[in-house]
Amino acid sequence: MTAVTATAGGIDRARVARWLQEYGVYVAVAALLLFNVFFTANFLTLGNFRTQLVQAAPVCIVALGMALVIGTEGVDLSVGAVMALAASLIPLYLGAGPVPAIAIALVVGLAAGTFNGFLVAHVGIQPIVATLALLVGGRGLALVIANGQLVQLHDKTFLELGTGDLAGIPISVWIAGLLSVVMALLVGRTTFGRRLVAIGGNRTASALAGLPVKAVLVGVYAICGLLAAVAGVLATARLSASDPADIGMLMELSAITAVVVGGTALTGGRVRILGTVFGVILMQLVRATLIKHNLPDSTAQMVQAAIIVVAVYVARERSTR
């Protein structure tokens, strides 16, 4: 009898845990929003939400690509460097107009991603190491291209990307939202997406099932590079300057954190796009809350550490014993 009740209790707890694992990040975002509504001055203003979304947009775009890579059991440490590369190219070609400049930045991002993918898929190097090389060298290259200089940008059309609105919503937020939808469809509905997840789940089996493993991997890293370049372009437009020395600094860690906090495990085989978006929003709100309450850097870093641990603890894959 006691045994039975114990079982029932156990199942209930398991169910709660499962539910939290699935929806934890949404709960956390909601909780943090509530906290801010009550304890943060001037939180409930349109301008504030706008700020949070605008700041989150580039991270979100990078995190989308990162989520795909993590889904294949990989990781891409070079995203920040790719952002810097993209940024360094903008001023060189802005003279020819914003479209060619952006196009070149994106092509280079795509190429950098493809290179990573090639190293991972064809040469067979561990993703961390393969992308570490570009993390170390990429920013240096960007600085070489830019001559180490920050360049102020004045092209109105280009800057519009960073400051402009469309139907009352900032353009960068539109782009991030649109890309999120595209990625969700890509993962959920396309051959490519399903293959990606299968490869992350069991690479040997996928290869034996005739899936084009290498091509898919290259594709995934290429998309990640491309998205990093998009983020680089948007961040540059928002800053109204090309700043290869600092743009995207530590972006890889922010993006990975967001993806993992959003419930995508680093072990691959699963991609949660909505979770990732909320992971980004959660971390953005955490940062905003810490700044708005004027906490010193030391406390802020320790609080962030604690939040990451708790969020990931809740979202972790459980083993049944």
Residues in region 114-143 near another protein by CB under 8 A? 119, 123-126, 128-130, 132-141, 143
Range 46-105, binding another protein (CB under 8 A): 47-48, 51, 54-55, 75
Window contacting another protein (CB under 8 A); options: 24-32, 92-100, 102-110, 148-156: 148-156
Helix (H) or strand (E) holding 62: helix 46-71
Count CB atoms within 10 A of the CB of residue 309: 10
107 binds another protein, rule: CB under 8 A: no
Among 173, 197, 230, 231, binds another protein (CB under 8 A): 197
- For residue 133, how many C-alpha atoms fall within 13 Å in the half-sphere facing its CB? 12
Residue type, 49: F
The token pair at 96 is 């020819």
Q: Does 168 help bind another protein (rule: CB under 8 A)?
A: no
Distance CA 291, CA 311 (A): 20
Residue closest to 76 by CA, chosen among 87, 66, 67? 66
Q: Does 157 bind another protein (CB under 8 A)?
A: no
The token pair that represents 68 in the structure block: 């795909």
Query: Whose Cβ is closer to another protein: residue 16's or residue 96's?
Result: 16
Strands 169-170 and 151-152: unpaired
* Closer residue to another protein, CB minimum distance, 130 or 220: 130
Over the range 272-283, which residues count as b (16 or more CB within 10 Å of their CB) and which as e? bbebbbbbbbbb
| Contact residue for another protein among 23, 26, 40, 174 (CB under 8 A) | 40
Contact code string over 289-308 relative to another protein, x by CB under 8 A: --xx-x-xxxxxxxxxxx-x
Select the span of 27-35, 89-97, 105-113, 208-216 touching another protein (CB under 8 A). 208-216
